Structure 1
Amino acid sequence: MKRVGILGGTFNPPHIGHLICANEAFHALKLDEVRFMPNAIAPHKQHREDATTFNRIQMLEMMIKPYPYFKIEKIEIERGGVSYTYDTMVELCEREPDVQFYFIIGGDMIDTLETWYNIDELVKLVKFVGFKRPGSTSSNSNYTVQMIEAPEIDLSSTLIRHRLATGGTLKFLLPEGVEAYIRKEGLYGTG
């Protein structure tokens, strides 16, 4: 059975923290691949208009290009609307019945699992894999989450957007190609 990690998010923009989590999960769980799955509209986040769906996909493609075991899963983008993980995983499991999916989440998401749409059914479809994040307890869940030891990095897309808008340094926070693309396209206040 193929073993596939799914790392969902807005990726607005994608950054080095996403790469680290995906890479750590890939190696720790001996996965065949990890798919970065950008959502159309996240149910738990305010929708932002500073990068288009096309921009987010372009940045992800640039970021994962050097790593053949990373892919992009566009199912939520193609479906459109609010992205509920349960609906997505039902569709993926039907489409790929010979795959065991590992859904990769950070500590902030672990702390809120009980609020996820149809969570009791979702845990039957996927194995949750978690990473500690600074500021989250990562242990308050009533659901089974396999924790992976990895470097804890207090990095978020919010911080990246703030740095871009205020002219702060992004050295080692974004792959150089992604930063160059952001500046070329005038995203996040750089225009």
Structure 2
Amino acid sequence: MKKIGIMGGTFDPPHKGHIYIAQEAYKKLHLDSVIFMPAGNPPHKTYKKITNEKDRYEMVKLAIADYEHFEVSDYEISKQTLSYTFLTLKHLKEEREKCELFFIAGADSLVTFESWRNIEEILNLATLVIFTRPGYPKDEVIKSKNEIEEKYHHSVILMDLIEQDISSSYIRESLEEGKEVTEYLNSDVCEYIRVNGLYNATRNIFL
């Protein structure tokens, strides 16, 4: 049975931190592949302006191009309705028979997990994999993990990663202010941003 990881997110833009997380999950969980799933219309971010789904999808393709075990799916961005995790996992289970799914998410997702729709179905369809991230003390994350496991009788995997002070929101803000961000992004993603004039960069910072 193949073991497949799913990394959801807006990927606005996709950065090297996303690649690091996916690589660690791939190695530590002995996965066969990791699917990047750009969100089309995430219910928890309906109030935020998100870059066009086509651009985010193309940037993810560029960011993962050098990794044979990574792929990107347009399932959520091709939908017109809100993107709910349980529906995505159900689709993948139906699309890829005889596979074991691992849903990879940050500590922030674990904290808000009880507000997600159809929690039990999510846990029945996939193993929840939580990675540590800055701003979320490990003892609190472990407490939330234990509470979810006790309440829903499903194991949650905690993936302890090196903390990286990098986020898509920081990159967007830096681009708007004309700051250097090339250390955080794949060179092809940088070029895509430059050519398509994304994030209202105040000057050409990629030269």
Q: Which residue of 2 aligns with 1:162?
A: 173
Q: Do the aligned partners of 1:164 and 1:188 also contact (CA within 8 Å) in 2? A: yes
Q: Which residue of 2 aligns with 1:62?
A: 62
**C-alpha distance in 1, partners of 2:78/2:50?**
20
Residue correspondence of structure 1 range 1-191 to structure 2 within 5 A: 1-46=1-46, 48-49=48-49, 51-136=51-136, 137-139=140-142, 140-141=144-145, 142-143=147-148, 144-190=155-201
Structure 1 outlier segments of 4+, above 6 Å: none
- Shift, 1:48, TM fit: 4.8
Moved more, 22-31 or 167-176: 167-176
Q: Secondary structure at the match of 1:62?
A: helix
Q: Secondary structure at the match of 1:37?
A: strand
2:32 maps to a residue whose letter is D
**C-alpha distance in 1, partners of 2:101/2:50?**
31
1:162 maps to a residue whose letter is E
State the identity as a percent: 38
Q: TM-score, normalised by structure 2?
A: 0.87
Moved more, 29-38 or 79-88: 79-88
**C-alpha distance in 2, partners of 1:51/1:45?**
12
- Shift, 1:148, TM fit: 1.4
- Shift, 1:51, TM fit: 2.5
**C-alpha distance in 1, partners of 2:81/2:166?**
27
1:171 maps to a residue whose letter is T
2:92 maps to a residue whose letter is L
Q: For residues 76-102 of structure 1, what are the alpha-carbon distances to aligned partners after superposition, in whole Å with 9 as ceiling and x for unaligned? A: 122232100011111211222311000
Higher Rg = 2
Q: Secondary structure at the match of 2:77?
A: helix
**C-alpha distance in 2, partners of 1:183/1:20?**
24
Structure 1, unmatched stretches of 5+, are none
Give RMSD over aligned pairs.
1.5
Q: Do the aligned partners of 1:9 and 1:37 also contact (CA within 8 Å) in 2? A: yes
Q: Secondary structure at the match of 2:11?
A: coil
